[in-house]
Amino acid sequence: METMDTDLPNRWIDIGKVINRGGPFAAPDFQPDTKESPNIMNGLQSDFKILVIGAGGLGCEILKNLALSGFRNIDVIDMDTIDVSNLNRQFLFRRKDVGKSKAEVAAAFINERVSGCNVTAHKCRIQEKDEDYYRQFKLVIAGLDSIEARRWINGLLVNLVVVDENGDVDPDTIIPLVDGGTEGFKGQARVILPRITSCFECSLEAFPPQVSYAVCTIANTPRVPEHCIQWAIMFGLEDKDLPKPFDPKKFDNDNPDHMNWLFQTAKKRAEDHNISGVTYKLTQGVAKNIIPAIASTNATIAAACCNEAFKFCTESSGSLNNYMMYNGLNGVYTFTFEYESKEGCAVCGTNIVTYPVDPSTTLTTFLENITTDSRFQFKKPSLRCNGKNLYMQGLLHASTVPNLPKTLPELSVQDEDEITITDPSLPGSLAVRMRIKYKLSN
């Protein structure tokens, strides 16, 4: 492989045209680089540490763009391994890499190709890193295909911002999030300044919720094949009595052995409830939520994301305010607009949501309503009210199942009471406080 010499005199000549002189779009306090004080270039190549989340189709493009834009200090996180189906668009990988870590192979490729670039790989889930790890970065770029993961990193970065007793934000604790996403010929790039602009959670309703099923239905009365597959994912992995040929905490839906276990478990669940139709292909579809990917869309959105990272770090131009959508289905169409902060946002807002409920609503129906509500998109919610467990996941699940057929008033939930909801889609100790407002249905 040919190595690019980053120390050639003309290597960064194009970047110099941007950072060596001012312009009408530069920030008010922008100070161009000079031969005596190349502060911006030094920052790109040493001080500006960037985190890239995801080393798939979008992540490969982002890593390449950052390295060729002068950034030398980059971390990349991805828990997945390379599949042969990735090779047509994830260009940092070769056939010999199939089965290896995406993050590790991508980092090694960039480090070898671009001399002086230091990409550090982490094969893990983003939830496995602590807050101190994330505090070291100047900026985070997310190239994720999971709404749940994007919600998690968004919530964590919001929580890292220090706000004093007067409500003033400490700007030194703000770590911007540049979020990119693609689906087929469509894509989007977004700049999120935690506690300053709207966060990802503010616009959660813009993302159509994945097909979901009520937790209580999955646990107790499955009716369709998908219920059985979801049961295997949600409860089978946690069931210590079910033998597994792998660590359930490290379940990988790209691993054939793991997927075969999931299929067999779901099939057995279906047989126990006289349900037919569970196939290996359907199991893959439910577990992976497969999204079509097109290389040109990834390239376009990655370019937009890296452009925003470069502008923010160098202050050579104003940042996107704050959302750009792209559609390449019939030509090239882009549109930019500002997402406004949502007052009742569970992450960056007041964190208290008033929720109208009919007093005759059972806990089962209430759970179904909040898990299908596009504002929340909960996965496996646990509920507490007035110091009492209403419905819990995990070890306490069995003890709270008897509450499901009871109405909220029967569970001592009064008008204006607050139900505290925790969910895996929310980071750390973050919880949604839902104020119940009883209202008779028409």
352-438: CATH homologous superfamily? Ubiquitin-like 2 activating enzyme e1b. Chain:  B, domain 3 (3.10.290.20)
CA dihedral 37, 171, 127, 59 (to 10 degrees): -40
Amino acid 301: pLDDT: 96
Asked whether residue 49 carries a pLDDT value surpassing 90, the answer given is: yes
pLDDT tier, 109 (very low <50, low <70, confident <90, very high otherwise): very high
Token pair, residue 83, equals 């599949």
For residue 256, the number of C-alpha atoms closer than 13 Å in the C-beta half-sphere is: 3
Asked whether residue 441 carries a pLDDT value surpassing 70, the answer given is: no
What are the residue ranges of CATH 3.10.290.20 in the chain?
352-438
Q: Residue by residue, what is the 3-state secondary structure of the chain?
A: CCCECCCCCCCCHHHHHHHCCCCCCCCCCCCCCCCCCCHHHHHHHHHCCEEEECCCHHHHHHHHHHHHCCCCEEEEECCCECCHHHCCCCCCCCHHHCCCEHHHHHHHHHHHHECCCEEEEECCCHHHCCHHHHHCCCEEEEECCCHHHHHHHHHHHHHHCCECCCCCECHHHCCCEEEEEEECCEEEEEEECCCCCCCHHHHHHHCCCCCCCCHHHHHHCCCCHHHHHHHHHHHHCCCCCCCCCCCHHHCCCCCHHHHHHHHHHHHHHHHHCCCCCCCHHHHHHHHHCCCCCCHHHHHHHHHHHHHHHHHHHHCCCCCCCCEEEEECCCCCEEEEECCCCCCCCCCCCCCEEEEEECCCCEHHHHHHHHHHCCCCCCCCCEEEECCEEEECCHHHHHHHHHHCCCECHHHCCCCCCEEEEECCCCCCCCCEEEEEEECCCC
Q: Is 372 exposed, middle or buried (0-12, 13-18, 19+ CB in 10 A)?
A: middle
Contact by Cβ (8 Å): 383, 406: no
Asked whether residue 40 carries a pLDDT value surpassing 80, the answer given is: yes
Mean pLDDT of 67-80: 94
Mean pLDDT of 205-225: 72
Which of 322, 378, 24, 104 lies closest to 197 in space, CA to CA?
Answer: 322
Amino acid 387: pLDDT: 86
Q: What is the CA radius of gyration of the chain?
A: 24
Asked whether residue 427 carries a pLDDT value surpassing 70, the answer given is: no
13-207+293-337: CATH homologous superfamily? NAD(P)-binding Rossmann-like Domain (3.40.50.720)
Worst-scoring range by mean pLDDT, 288-297, 332-341, 386-395? 288-297
Amino acid 18: pLDDT: 87
User: CB pairs under 8 A, 24+ apart, for 276-282?
Assistant: 276/225, 277/224, 277/225, 278/225, 278/228, 278/229, 279/225, 282/225, 282/226, 282/229
Amino acid 11: pLDDT: 79
Nearest-angstrom CA–CA distance, 208 and 375: 10
Amino acid 12: pLDDT: 82
Mean pLDDT of 72-95: 90
CB count within 10 Å of CB 148 equals: 14
Nearest-angstrom CA–CA distance, 216 and 180: 34
215-288: CATH homologous superfamily? Ubiquitin activating enzymes (Uba3). Chain: B, domain 2 (1.10.10.520)
Token pair, residue 311, equals 């502008």
Which of 359, 232, 367 lies closest to 286 in space, CA to CA?
Answer: 232
For residue 166, the number of C-alpha atoms closer than 13 Å in the C-beta half-sphere is: 3
Contact by Cβ (8 Å): 340, 421: no
Beta bridge partners of 437: 356
Nearest-angstrom CA–CA distance, 381 and 366: 11
In one letter, which amino acid is 292? Answer: P
Active site residue 313: no
Asked whether residue 41 carries a pLDDT value surpassing 90, the answer given is: no
Asked whether residue 175 carries a pLDDT value surpassing 90, the answer given is: yes
Tens of pLDDT, residues 268-317: 999 999 999 999 888 888 887 656 678 999 999 999 999 999 999 988 88
Beta strands 432-438 and 352-357: pairing type? parallel
Q: Which of 117, 216, 306, 345 is catalytic?
A: 216
Mean pLDDT of 322-343: 91
Amino acid 145: pLDDT: 82
Worst-scoring range by mean pLDDT, 119-128, 249-258, 404-413? 249-258
Tens of pLDDT, residues 350-363: 667 888 999 999 99
What are the residue ranges of CATH 1.10.10.520 in the chain?
215-288
Nearest-angstrom CA–CA distance, 394 and 391: 10
Average per-residue pLDDT in the chain?
87
Nearest-angstrom CA–CA distance, 133 and 141: 15
Q: What is the pTM of this model?
A: 0.73
Amino acid 428: pLDDT: 64
Asked whether residue 4 carries a pLDDT value surpassing 60, the answer given is: no
CB count within 10 Å of CB 174 equals: 18
Mean pLDDT of 321-341: 92
